[in-house]
Amino acid sequence: MSTAPLRVAMLGCGVVGTQVARLLTEHAGELAARSGRPLEIVGIAVRRTGRDRAATGVAPELFTTDAEELVTRADIVIEVIGGIEPARTLILSAMAHGASVVTANKALLAQDGPTLYAAADEHAVDLYFEAAVAGAIPLVRPVRESLAGDRIKRVLGIVNGTTNYVLDQMDTTGAGFAEAVEQAQALGYAEADPTADVEGFDAAAKAAILASLAFHTRVPASAVYREGITDVSAADVAAAREMGCVVKLLAICERTADPAGGEGVAVRVHPAMLPRTHPLAGVRGAFNAVFVEAEAAGELMFYGPGAGGEPTASAVLGDVVSVARHRVQGGRGPGESSYAELSLLPMGSTRTRYHVSLDVADRPGVLAQVALVFADHEVSIETVRQQLTPGEGDAPPRAALVVVTHQATDEALAATVDDLAKLDVVQAVASVMRVEGE
């Protein structure tokens, strides 16, 4: 058996890449022992050479701006550039030249995963991506391999650290959204442009990947219902607190009945109220946690650091050792599994509970009118609470009516809210938020 080193090429040397290179260098002996052959970095593609990259421990002459050439001479390519292009073209070229690929790129996998899987099959190489979902937390491998013999019913979790940090700050300090984002940026949790995180794109990409693996069905990011946290106000967080809840940005992937009597898949990312007693409510700061419910296994919970250079590098290196072992011993890791082809259900048919807060006039008959609108749409009310706030100056007192519903479809709830807004006695629909976790 050959003892020649396996050639490892890296694409990108940013937050994650720097730590991958450092750990590959510092732990070279152990990684060689675990892989069966030494792993030799043959090049790291960067946008600009000449910068101080001493933190990687990699010789300066190994940095190159010619990524296209680099991927033609490697056994393993690690892609940590991010984004769609040039990552996609480079991965496809690497595979065409016979390299197995390890990537952390959730955006690309969620948009074009099937193309990458097909190329991996065509060229008989591996495609591994543990770091793409929930950073260091082992989640892709458990869902793709450990639970391959079970039937997953639901995946529910917090898969974005930035938004969890922001919502946690809002809950613990009473800060508004903008203030909490500024704090997150100052501490390096949120990027200068936080759009991908706060608008839920990052979580939606991860949800798409998890749902595809869990339900053996292609779920592109475009099929994920997505609402970010930009409209979550300090008042929403306070209202949640009054109900004994916290607000979390949840990713929910469910196997449910489809209208034709078969099975479908519903995948959504949105802020939701969660009882403080729920295990996910205790996930603080930038941590991630994901529940997986499977028929035979029951409930499993995965918890840990979902981001950060070093934790994410841990997941990348685990994949590198796996694909290296295949190179040494033969065999391949799992390919795409999309045989189930379950239908992708629209958000309108999803059933959950809702917290609806209305500013209403304080006079006889208001509650009855409001209750009638819910009844008209067959949305059943679980609790109603009225709170009176004295008006300022000569203004009349304001009444806030807080309605929590039993489970209803999103469609029925949306129609209810539309009709509530048309009532004379309703001055404003102050907020609508889903309630999960029961």
Ligand X SMILES: N[C@@H](CCO)C(=O)O
Ligand Y SMILES: NC(=O)c1ccc[n+]([C@@H]2O[C@H](COP(=O)([O-])OP(=O)(O)OC[C@H]3O[C@@H](n4cnc5c(N)ncnc54)[C@H](O)[C@@H]3O)[C@@H](O)[C@H]2O)c1
Does position 86 interact with ligand Y (CB under 6 A)? The reply is yes
d(C-alpha 191, C-alpha 187), whole Å: 10
Q: Is 206 a catalytic residue?
A: yes
Cβ within 8 Å of residue 279, ≥6 positions away: 289, 291, 301
Instruction: Calculate Rg over the CA atoms of the chain.
Output: 25
Residue 26's CB is within 10 A of a number of other CB atoms, namely 12
Evaluated on CA atoms 371, 372, 375, 379, the torsion sign reads negative
CB of 280 vs ligand Y, minimal distance in Å:
20
Binding to ligand Y by CB under 6 A, coded x per residue (else -) over 107-146, reads ------------------------x---x-----------
Give yes or no for a contact between 5 and 71, defined as CB atoms under 8 angstroms apart.
Answer: no
Our finding on whether 271 is near ligand X (CB under 6 A) is no
Our CB check for Na ion shows the closer of 130 and 227 to be: 130
Window 54 to 83, contacts with ligand X (CB under 6 A) = none
With residue 171 as reference, give the H or E element that holds it.
Answer: helix 161-173
* Of residues 314 and 350, the one with the C-beta less far from ligand Y: 314
Among 9, 13, 127, 425, binds ligand Y (CB under 6 A): 13
Q: How far is the CB of 133 from Na ion (least distance, A)?
A: 5
Kindly state whether residue 161 participates in binding ligand X, applying the rule CB under 6 A. yes
- Partner interacting with residue 139 (select from ligand X, Na ion, ligand Y, none; CB below 5-8 Å by kind): Na ion
- Residues that contact ligand X, how many (by CB under 6 A): 8
CB 423 within 8 A of CB 376: no
What residues from 131 to 160 belong to the interface with Na ion (CB under 5 A)? 134, 137, 139
- Kindly report the backbone phi and psi dihedral angles of residue 304, in degrees, each rounded to the nearest multiple of 5, phi listed first: 155, -170
Least distance (Å) between residue 250 CB and ligand X:
14
Contact 287, 303 (CB under 8 A): yes
CB 190, CB 162: distance < 8 Å: yes
Neighbour-count burial of 108, counting CB atoms closer than 10 A to its CB (0-12 exposed, 13-18 middle, 19+ buried): buried
Measuring CA to CA, which residue among 97, 59, 60 is closest to residue 77? Answer: 97
Position 166 contacts ligand X (CB under 6 A): no
Residue with tokens 């109900």: 243
Least Cβ distance, residue 113 to Na ion (angstroms): 16
Q: How many residues bind Na ion (CB under 5 A)?
A: 5
Closest separation between CB of residue 86 and ligand Y, Å? 5
The residues carrying an active-site annotation are: 206
Which parts of this chain interact with ligand Y (CB under 6 A)? 11-17, 45-47, 67, 80-82, 86, 104-106, 131, 135, 307-308, 312
Q: Site residues (CB under 5 A) for Na ion?
A: 130, 134, 137, 139, 315
